[in-house]
Amino acid sequence: MLVLTPVTWALTGSSGHSVIADTDGWLARVPESQAALVLGAGLLGGRPSPMLARRLDVSAQLYHAGKVKALLLSGDNSRKEYDEPTAMRDYLLAKGVPGRVMVLDYAGFDTWDSCVRARDVWGAERVTVVTQLFHLPRAVALCRTAGLATFGVGDDSAKRWAVTTYASSAREVFATGKAFADALVLKSDPVFPGPRETALRTILAGQR
């Protein structure tokens, strides 16, 4: 029962606030928001991993469809030789997304940190969080718990990488337990909680 409590929280908190990418009419079901919050998912040889590349593909679709005004790329740059946000930006530039609409968050070390920093550091209020389907309930629930009006878009990675997806799904139970503790029990601060940045607000102000 204790194990099920965080899972139930994630499923309940995200219910009705998400869609699966690349299903019939999925873009039409995504509400407009200020930014796509794209969560890091690892690099291979300095380039986005296959799962991260799919998140970026989806976020590019959202931007080109006019569903988001900006892209908030939140990933790990905890050491000099590992820079997720820059690799994410470079990938999106090749997809035709202009650099002027991208904001790089170098301290998105986990999902909770990314959500809280989107609110407190970047000043976001409404986001579309982009991730894989197995991670979507936790991501949406965390961002909504952080006070963001959040809709989620999930890539169904099981169609492409079934073994990797099933392994990640199994770990998701434990990750959801940590998320529940961070958000509702400990109310943890991000590793780097600030200072306030203006880049996202500047992008949004320029598009009014």
DSSP 8-state class, residue 78: S
More reliable by pLDDT, 78 or 9: 78
For the chain, the domains span 4-206
Looking at residue 189, its amino acid is D
Distance CA 12, CA 2 (A): 16
Reported residue count of the chain is 208
The C-alpha atoms of residue 167 and residue 178 are separated, in whole angstroms, by 18
**Mean pLDDT value across the chain:** 92
Least-confidence region, from 65-69, 131-135, 158-162: 158-162
Name which of 38-47, 144-153, 160-169 the model is least confident about: 160-169
Among residues 92, 108, 127, which one has the least CA distance to residue 18? 127
**Longest CA–CA separation in the chain, Å:** 49
Q: Read off the pTM.
A: 0.93
> DSSP characters for 31-81?
PPEEEEEEEP--EETTEE-HHHHHHHHHHHHHHHTTSEEEEEEE-B-SBTT
**Domain 4-206, CATH number (from 1.10.490.10, 3.40.50.620, 2.30.30.60, 3.40.228.10):** 3.40.50.620
Provide the phi-psi class of 106: left if phi over 0, else alpha when psi is between -120 and 50, else beta.
Answer: alpha
